[in-house]
Amino acid sequence: MISLVDLVAQYHSIKEEMDAAVLSTLETGHFILGSHVAKFEENVAAYLGAKHAVGLASGTDALIIALRALEIGAGDEVIIPAYTFFATAGAVMSVGAKPVVVDIDPQSYQIDASRIEAALTPQTRAIMPVHLYGHPSEMKAISEIARKHNLKVIEDNAQAFGAEYFGAKTGALGDVGCLSFFPTKNLGGYGDGGMAVTNDAALAERMRMLRAHGWKKKYYSEMLGYNSRLDALQAAVLQVKLPHVDEWNDKRRALAKRYNEALAPLGLITPIEREGAKHVYHLYVVRVEKRDALQAFLKEKGIASDVYYPIPPHLADPCRKFGYKVGDFPRAEKAAKETLALPLYPELTEAMQDAVIAAAREFVEK
């Protein structure tokens, strides 16, 4: 069986330093926040080129806490892409705001920046681009729109740790960048985890309060907050992995290039890189009209694949109250029917990749 991702293989590649980091954390007796988290926050901020980083319990919490810190809530609207994981829309709804959906660029799957201004209203407070699959959104155009209309930019960088946009790391290009450390991410923990990064000291302080019950001083709540703190164990795990991320991302890019060269001639629509974008291939996603048939064929061959995502957020049940319907965002809806993620992770061997390619060729030629 060829897995979509193999986390055990990654663990064995760094087993000695990982085991030492986990054991040293256990011996401290400190498991919530503390020095491990503080050091990891400092290192992530430095890696991304941001001034502040706030460790949180998940990427979804990072989105919610970023919205809360920016005082976005009931009566407000936030622009989101029509094709993304539901948490993007769900976070906006969790603070009482409305997700206003904009269709995507059908080739990069990013929000189509040329369509954003038509979706703005007097209630719009922020734009939330998602660097989907590891490809950067059009941040220059998005930032210009935000400045023009006095809007905040919240980057959903859950899938793009290490990606670059004209030489700058994604996640540090907006007012707040939100990271996920879910185990399968390019930088993934051994459990849930997330982070919010910003260059605004006051905003960072507000997010630190929100992650711990609204405290500045322990037990003295100054606002309604959450219990959303990055565990010390996760910080220790992630700190071991952080120095390897660039090498792992380079391996992802090399494997993606190899896939592209083999699969494009077969008629599969392969991923692209827009000008200025450095894709880090959290997922390697192809498009094919007979997507479900291809997925079933690969399964017969012992090859895993998955659909990210079968339902665009505007068609999910929680969004029905906004009146969205089938046909509103045709590019996203078409992508939901045709996209398929193939196995890709740094430890994937060329022999394994050749087996995936051979199976795809057999499917196309049968």
Separation CA 87–CA 68 (nearest Å): 15
Instruction: Identify the three-state secondary structure at position 270.
Output: coil
Residues 226 and 101 grouped into a single domain: yes
Amino acid at 191: G
Amino acid at 70: L
Name the percent of the chain lying above pLDDT 70: 100
Separation CA 362–CA 351 (nearest Å): 16
261 membership: H or E segment, kind and range = helix 245-263
User: In this predicted model, what pLDDT tens digit does every residue of 218-265 receive, in sequence order?
Assistant: 999 999 999 999 999 999 999 999 999 999 999 999 999 999 999 999
Supply the mean pLDDT for the chain: 97
Specify if 123 maps to a domain. Answer: yes
Bond preceding residue 309 cis, omega within 30 of 0: yes
User: In this predicted model, what pLDDT tens digit does every residue of 319-356 receive, in sequence order?
Assistant: 999 999 999 999 999 999 999 999 999 999 999 999 99
pLDDT of residue 304: 98
Residues 260 and 225 grouped into a single domain: no
| Residue 144 φ/ψ, nearest 5 degrees | -65, -40
Residues 274 and 227 grouped into a single domain: no
CATH code of the domain in which 99 resides? 3.40.640.10
| Residue 143 φ/ψ, nearest 5 degrees | -65, -40
What is the pLDDT confidence band of residue 366, given thresholds at 50, 70 and 90?
confident
pLDDT of residue 180: 98
Q: Exposed, middle or buried: residue 236 (CB in 10 Å: 0-12, 13-18, 19+)?
A: buried
Separation CA 2–CA 356 (nearest Å): 8
Separation CA 62–CA 207 (nearest Å): 9
Separation CA 274–CA 257 (nearest Å): 15
Domain-ending residue, one of 209, 243, 277: 243
Q: Is the pLDDT of residue 160 over 90?
A: yes
Separation CA 296–CA 360 (nearest Å): 11
Domain-ending residue, one of 226, 243, 260: 243
Residues 177 and 230 grouped into a single domain: yes
Separation CA 105–CA 111 (nearest Å): 6
pLDDT of residue 23: 96
What is the pLDDT confidence band of residue 196, given thresholds at 50, 70 and 90?
very high
Residues 54 and 188 grouped into a single domain: yes
Q: What angle do CA 11, 196, 122 make, to 5 degrees?
A: 140
Specify if 2 maps to a domain. Answer: no
Residues 220 and 329 grouped into a single domain: no
Lowest mean pLDDT among 85-94, 127-136, 192-201, 217-226: 217-226
* DSSP structural state of residue 273: -
Specify if 170 maps to a domain. Answer: yes
Specify if 14 maps to a domain. Answer: yes
Domain-ending residue, one of 223, 243, 263: 243
From 79, 109, 112, 62, select the one nearest 308 (Cα to Cα).
109
Total structural domains within the chain: 2
Q: Looking at residues 127-140, what average pLDDT do you find?
A: 98
Residues 215 and 258 grouped into a single domain: no
Q: Is the pLDDT of residue 192 over 90?
A: yes
Q: How many CA atoms lie within 13 A of 98 on its CB side?
A: 17
CATH code of the domain in which 299 resides? 3.90.1150.10
pLDDT of residue 108: 97
Residues 226 and 251 grouped into a single domain: no
User: How many other C-beta atoms are found inside a 10 Å radius of the C-beta of residue 57?
Assistant: 21
Residues 95 and 208 grouped into a single domain: yes
Which residues, 6+ apart, have CB-to-CB distance to 153 below 8 Å? 126, 127, 128, 129, 139, 142, 143, 146, 173, 174, 175, 176
CB 67 within 8 A of CB 175: no
Predicted model pTM: 0.97
Residues 212 and 257 grouped into a single domain: no
Specify if 1 maps to a domain. Answer: no
User: In this predicted model, what pLDDT tens digit does every residue of 264-281 receive, in sequence order?
Assistant: 999 999 999 999 999 999
pLDDT of residue 95: 98
Separation CA 187–CA 179 (nearest Å): 9
What is the pLDDT confidence band of residue 12, given thresholds at 50, 70 and 90?
very high
Q: Looking at residues 137-147, what average pLDDT do you find?
A: 98
141-161: burial string, b at 16+ Cβ within 10 Å, e else: bbbebbeeeebbbbbbbbbbb
Separation CA 12–CA 243 (nearest Å): 16
Instruction: Determine the structural domain holding residue 12 and report its residue range.
Output: 7-243
Residues 199 and 305 grouped into a single domain: no
| Residue 63 CA: distances (Å) to CA of 197, 223, 297, 337 | 11, 18, 37, 27
Residues 230 and 108 grouped into a single domain: yes
Amino acid at 114: S
Instruction: Identify the three-state secondary structure at position 194.
Output: strand
Tell me the two tokens of residue 151.
């809007």
Q: Please report the DSSP string for 112-169 in residue order.
A: -GGGHHHH--TTEEEE--B-GGGPPP-HHHHHHHHHHHT-EEEEE-TT-TT-EETTEE
